[in-house]
Structure 1
């Protein structure tokens, strides 16, 4: 079994074609709606010690997809992400441990500290001589903390969209720049 110590220090990029940045919110308080962002990039800098590592990510909010073009358009509107004025969501880590990824998440100009539960899935060589690594991470945020306050009351109580949103990351990294060994 591989561990974080098997990661070669250096710069790693997210392979977006083999990664997913998804989210889940409750709809009408009885079902879950899942979505994802298709356009994102991130760089992971692996330090000699895990605590010296960092993550920087940028997500294009207009790339949101939930399987419903009408809902996707509403999410892009001023009611939610307001992508015309706030095209990106960003994340900058502040702490990395074997079990958590902590950092500052910014949506619509509002920055909140978020703690992701982190799982390392291992390192593998690809058939082309490259090195890949896999991670999963999840966190729950309150969308209202980021100014995403639109909602509608439903008959009998409750609201159309939950305040709590779960963020799920399934990430494959590819070694971009690995320092030469001395």
Structure 2
């Protein structure tokens, strides 16, 4: 095996380790460990947030007890070129709580598209963007009904409609301009830009 191939293999393993530990730290509230996963000035775009990783972590501390969530990861696809990498990570964000007096489960199926760079401290996230596929809100008890109306659903993006209702009900603003499979041209542009940054155009 060539030294380049071995180096790429090691880099992919390191990026995979970063991906899994970052979400573990977020779900456990291990804020110092979470901070180590990001470069200074790194950016994050999710349903409810668009800004720096530092700001994200501060707001996540507030959310941790008020609106707890968990993240289930699928197998990432990782491309490495030199000291940069792109990691696409399938993920399901799960919430359980009360929505309009009814206990519900909310599951949002997304892809995180991470730009990763190698620095002195190893591989860290430089930018992370959520791409929304679909979501669902389900009452935890058969027969219960959260009483959604046509007005609730009108204008909601099908790629993150239930998540948007949940987050808005809990006091968070969810813009309508997030990346979602219902707007494929925007996703295509996002991937082209990301891989141009990597230096491996698709």
TM-score under structure 1 length normalisation? 0.33
- Which one scores higher on RCO, CA 8 angstroms, separation ≥ 6? 1
Select the structure that is richer in helix: 2
